Amino acid sequence: MNVFEGWKITSPYGYRSDPFTGSRVFHTGIDLVKYHRFPIPAFVGGVILFAGEGVAGTGFGGYGNVVALRDKKGYVHCYCHLDSVAAQKGQTISKGNIVGYQGTTGRSTGSHLHYEVRSKDTPSYGYGAHVDPGEYLELYCEITDEDVDNMAIKADDWFWKQAYNILGAAYNKGEIEWQWCQKVLDRTLTAGEYTHVLAVINARTQGIDVDAENPAAIPLDQRG
Ligand SMILES: [Zn+2]
């Protein structure tokens, strides 16, 4: 999967010779080119932390006009050297919304987008905590934020409903105490908790009187 399809990559993430000094330095982002003043869509949705000119000491010194956005996983996406910004601090934006226009502001040799992803947002917006942007997008953002939310809800619901059915049947057969059913079904269940419920029921249906509160008390071969 080419996450930067349609972009010309003029400088990858990693070691390179500095275009200004010629010395070997680490390039903390990826340089992408469409054309000057191209409207740049956010690769990932999130909340705008910074939008404006990066001055020394802020974490964006030399980066020109910058838009920085924090995604749901806490990573900061920096769109740098923008001709102008098209977002405001505090704004929530979705993937594909325009954050700014390709430019050459700050320490730049020509119109391009320096796109940088940082693994934290403090101090200085996570300056120095850069990760490979292509790798990040590929590994973590193929599944959208909305997908992650929906999956979490669906998984919790699923385990709860399964547990509800299984516990209800077991209670009706007198295999489990009502108090424990209530305690288990009081909230959503994790996969681990659900496995524990299965193990207890499994043991009880075979006449093994295990302590439902103590997963370690369940014989190994009876665990889910
Ligand atoms: Zn760059």
On whether residue 20 sits in a domain, the answer given is yes
DSSP helix/strand/coil, 159: helix
The radius of gyration computed from the CA coordinates of the chain, to the nearest angstrom, equals: 26
Distance 17 CA to ligand 1 centre (A): 12
Instruction: Say if residue 42 is in the same domain as residue 107.
Output: yes
Instruction: Say if residue 152 is in the same domain as residue 132.
Output: no
Distance 186 CA to ligand 1 centre (A): 51
Distance 88 CA to ligand 1 centre (A): 23
Distance 28 CA to ligand 1 centre (A): 7
Domain boundary pick from 81, 113, 142: 142
- What is the Cα 93 distance to its own chain's centre? 15
Instruction: Say if residue 112 is in the same domain as residue 166.
Output: no
On whether residue 3 sits in a domain, the answer given is no
Note the pLDDT of residue 222.
Answer: 46
Instruction: Say if residue 133 is in the same domain as residue 45.
Output: yes
- What one-character DSSP code corresponds to residue 38? P
**Assign residue 106 a region: left if phi > 0, alpha if psi is -120 to 50, beta otherwise?**
left
Domain boundary pick from 116, 142, 168: 142
Note the pLDDT of residue 22.
Answer: 78
Distance 145 CA to ligand 1 centre (A): 26
Instruction: Say if residue 106 is in the same domain as residue 24.
Output: yes
Distance 116 CA to ligand 1 centre (A): 8
List Cα–Cα distances, 129 to 76, 89, 125, in angstroms: 10, 21, 9
Distance 10 CA to ligand 1 centre (A): 9
For residue 132, what are the domain limits?
A: 8-142
Distance 128 CA to ligand 1 centre (A): 14
Section 53-76 average pLDDT: 94
Section 209-224 average pLDDT: 54
Instruction: Say if residue 86 is in the same domain as residue 193.
Output: no
Residue 44, pLDDT > 60, answer yes
User: CATH number of the domain that 119 lies in?
Assistant: 2.70.70.10
- Give whichever of 83-87, 201-205, 215-219 has the largest mean pLDDT: 83-87
Section 37-64 average pLDDT: 95
Residue that wins the pLDDT comparison between 65 and 142: 65
How far, in Å, CA of 58 to CA of 93, rounded?
22
Section 9-13 average pLDDT: 92
DSSP helix/strand/coil, 158: helix
Distance 154 CA to ligand 1 centre (A): 40
Distance 31 CA to ligand 1 centre (A): 5
Instruction: Say if residue 153 is in the same domain as residue 108.
Output: no
- In terms of Cα–Cα distance, which of 153, 154, 152, 144 is closest to 72? 144
Q: Report DSSP letters for 82-118, one per residue.
A: ESEE---TT-EE-TT-EEEE-B--SS-SSSBEEEEEE
Residue 146: pLDDT band with limits 50, 70, 90: low
How many domains does the structure of the chain reveal?
2
Instruction: Say if residue 99 is in the same domain as residue 44.
Output: yes
Instruction: Say if residue 105 is in the same domain as residue 58.
Output: yes
Distance 19 CA to ligand 1 centre (A): 10
Distance 139 CA to ligand 1 centre (A): 21
- In terms of Cα–Cα distance, which of 79, 81, 76, 116 is closest to 99? 79
Residue-wise pLDDT tens digits, 108-122: 989 999 999 999 999
138 within 8 A of 117, measured Cβ to Cβ: no
On whether residue 2 sits in a domain, the answer given is no
Instruction: Say if residue 36 is in the same domain as residue 137.
Output: yes
Instruction: Say if residue 177 is in the same domain as residue 124.
Output: no
On whether residue 1 sits in a domain, the answer given is no
Instruction: Say if residue 81 is in the same domain as residue 181.
Output: no
Residue-wise pLDDT tens digits, 151-188: 444 555 667 777 777 777 777 778 777 777 777 777 66
